[in-house]
Structure 1
């Protein structure tokens, strides 16, 4: 592979990862800031913004994140790896798109999307929450078992920190969502008044964004290294 082709490939991976990283970091702000301006409050969860004036931002951002992930191929599965980069990224991307297409429970029971019409309101909501869990934990898997595996020590600590943070926020969000739905009146009020689920989801998405931004910066370091003769350069980890 000549140097020009190698550099173009590295830049391509860099741009995809930077786009994913910036989308992840900005996504909660793109929902929260307009909501604070228009309604002076933060919704109980990211998913609740589907039922607000930020619906287009919610759906568009998730579909964009999903498409970037689905198009991401990454490394060929190495010996000893159970899942390829392509499979995990595609799984996370498909889940992100399903989150957007299968909204959470509406304030009033009414069919407003084709997925609700085709599946029924209850099934669409179940699909939404399953997709959200798959999305978060697939991203955590990428951080913990893909990015960190061959990274330099400093970046490895960042990837693992992001991965564990995503897992922790997913668990706390699930517990908070349980109390919001089935907990005592005081527990429900605490979760809703403090937007606990929203903040857990936001921190998890921010961790995802940071991990991909760091991954993109790692790619750029390859542009400063001469390609070895006869080597087939792969994106940096």
Structure 2
């Protein structure tokens, strides 16, 4: 493998990590519902509720068929976030914490019965908020490290606007979802859509980041030593 092939291989790895997070984020709110319907699970009030949503088919391998899928997705996203190296020290730290938090969401599921496993529900919510807060902060405060290489002023402003909007959505929606969960049944049943919006904002962020980096070819130039990316 020559130097050019190695650079293309490394670049492909980063593109694949971003693509994986885009796909998993975009499909998760849809897949958990469809997989639940396949096993006779009715629409749940929140995405987290699908973890221990019981199936009406007692013959299957598990009475909670969605938890395997849900947990697998969270572990995959968490691994991708941890393995993905940011352009600055702070971006990298935030992504690492977000990755660990995603795994924490899977390992501390939300139980319908309060107190069944001490602190599991609180840890689940805490990890979920941490996950989205870290990605949101990355989107809002760490975009300048790469945007400075976008020469088109209008495109740079557009990317910045998208990053700030998606970042705020990722921070705000989980908090709104928590407040709604303690409201009336009619309000609590809409938590799913708030969670879904936060997850789709996550995908939108990575879509935008992928488009930006493809336009500037910054990763390739960095590997070739053609740009100076000093860690912040």
Q: In which range does the TM-score fall when normalised by the shorter chain? A: 0.7 to 0.9
- Structure 2 residue 77 is the aligned partner of structure 1 residue 65: yes
Structure 1 runs not aligned, ≥5 long: 78-83, 111-120, 180-186
- Which residue does the alignment assign to 1:128? 124
Q: 1:220 to 1:30 in 2, by over 3 A?
A: same
Q: 1:128 to 1:226 in 2, by over 3 A?
A: closer
- Aligned-residue CA RMSD in angstroms? 2.6
Q: 1:88 to 1:225 in 2, by over 3 A?
A: closer
Match of 1:103 among 84, 106, 109: 109
Query: CA offset at residue 232 of structure 1?
Result: 4.9
Q: TM-score, normalised by structure 1?
A: 0.77
Query: CA offset at residue 168 of structure 1?
Result: 2.5
Alignment of 1:108-119 (within 5 A): none
Query: CA offset at residue 86 of structure 1?
Result: 1.6
- Structure 2 residue 140 is the aligned partner of structure 1 residue 147: no
**Aligned positions, number:** 207
Match of 2:201 among 182, 207, 210: 207
- Which residue does the alignment assign to 2:47? 46
Alignment of 1:188-207 (within 5 A): 189-192=185-188, 195-207=189-201
Q: TM-score, normalised by structure 2?
A: 0.79
Return the alpha-carbon distance in structure 2 between the equivalents of residues 224 and 76 of structure 1. Answer: 14
Return the alpha-carbon distance in structure 1 between the equivalents of residues 136 and 220 of structure 2. Answer: 32
What are the superposed Cα offsets for residues 37-64 of structure 1, whole Å, 9 maximum, x if unpaired? 4436321111111103211111000000
What are the superposed Cα offsets for residues 157-191 of structure 1, whole Å, 9 maximum, x if unpaired? 11111111222212210211222xxxxxxx2x212
Structure with the larger RCO, 1 or 2 (CA within 8 Å, 6+ apart): 1
Alignment of 1:177-188 (within 5 A): 177-179=181-183, 187=184
Structure 2 runs not aligned, ≥5 long: 54-64, 148-155
